[in-house]
Amino acid sequence: MPSLAGTPAEAAPVPPKRERRKEARPGELLAAALELFVEKGFAATRSEEVAARAGVSKGTLFLYFPTKDELFKAVVRENVSGRFRELNQEFRQFEGSSADMLRTGLRLWWERVGATQASGISKLIMSEARNFPELADFCQHEVIQPCQELICWILQRGIDRGEFRPVDLRYAAANTIGAMVFLMMMKHSLAPCLPHDQRLDPQRFIAAHVDTLLQGLCVRPHGVNDAPAS
């Protein structure tokens, strides 16, 4: 069956069936945008890519977010707000040693935030804060401060209960927050470019961080040895 046509593969350019999913779209677009913004940066991501990754066309994106800037802000808002308030609640109810609290807290936090896509938000904020000043403020109030307060609260609890020796709360908290932020940023920056054996293992990094921390913090240093080997 000879044919003069070129590549016969071109059967029929399937029109990629339109789906009407008004409810689901914003979430899908935000997820796609988060991924891409984290991966390539805000400016280097094309609107069309976001749409494509969300499985819709260029035009649809602008149906839900009036501008790329607004999309960006929505991405940050979506992935930041609230997320920490619940963790906060949970912790205030925790019963047990403050050392366990710290250990469990960080482990939990990694599972719920660090290990998810949402962790990319920290890279995003660090990269874009100066281009979106309102964001810096928003994040300071919605993320940094709640976290800071939670950690300070735990440390204070430990001190009050005689478990921890007194320290400069703010900077002790900053130390831990810094470690977590670093971890998240690595995950979305250098790590994907490095061979597996050169990457940090988050769990071990956190464990090491907490161990060092508690070693220096705890009044009864042997308490550290109770820690479940990670």
Partner DNA sequence: AATGAATGAGGATTCATTCAT
Partner DNA sequence: CATGAATGAATCCTCATTCAT
Partner whose binding site includes residue 194, from a copy of itself, DNA, none (CB under 5 to 8 Å by kind): a copy of itself
In the bound state with DNA, the residue whose beta carbon lies nearer, of 17 and 222, is: 17
Which class for 74: exposed (0-12), middle (13-18), buried (19 or more C-beta within 10 A)? middle
Residues in region 107-126 near DNA by CB under 7 A: none
In the bound state with DNA, the residue whose beta carbon lies nearer, of 60 and 88, is: 60
Distance (Å) of CA 129 to CA 41, 71, 123, 133, 136: 12, 15, 10, 6, 5
In the bound state with a copy of itself, the residue whose beta carbon lies nearer, of 115 and 144, is: 144
17 counts as binding DNA under rule CB under 7 A:
yes
Q: Which of 27, 40, 48, 226 binds DNA (CB under 7 A)?
A: 48
Q: Which of 27, 40, 46, 85 binds DNA (CB under 7 A)?
A: 46
Distance CA 22, CA 1 (A): 47
Partner whose binding site includes residue 67, from a copy of itself, DNA, none (CB under 5 to 8 Å by kind): DNA
Which class for 88: exposed (0-12), middle (13-18), buried (19 or more C-beta within 10 A)? middle
Q: Which of 27, 40, 41, 63 binds DNA (CB under 7 A)?
A: 63
16 counts as binding DNA under rule CB under 7 A:
yes
Contact predicate 218/162, CB 8 Å:
no
Candidates 50-58, 81-89, 101-109, 138-146; binding stretch for DNA (CB under 7 A): 50-58
Question: Smallest distance from the beta carbon of 84 to a copy of itself, in angstroms?
Answer: 16
Q: Which of 1, 3, 10, 18 binds DNA (CB under 7 A)?
A: 18
In the bound state with DNA, the residue whose beta carbon lies nearer, of 25 and 83, is: 25
Distance CA 116, CA 105 (A): 16
Contact predicate 163/101, CB 8 Å:
no
Residues in region 68-107 near DNA by CB under 7 A: 68-69
Kindly give, in sequence order, each residue whose CB lies less than 8 Å from that of residue 164, ignoring residues fewer than 6 positions away. Answer: 98, 155, 158, 217, 218, 219
Distance CA 109, CA 104 (A): 8
Candidates 57-65, 75-83, 160-168, 212-220; binding stretch for DNA (CB under 7 A): 57-65
Backbone phi and psi for residue 21, each to the nearest 5 degrees, phi listed first = -140, 60
Q: Which residues bind DNA (CB under 7 A)?
A: 15-22, 25, 45-48, 56-60, 62-64, 66-69
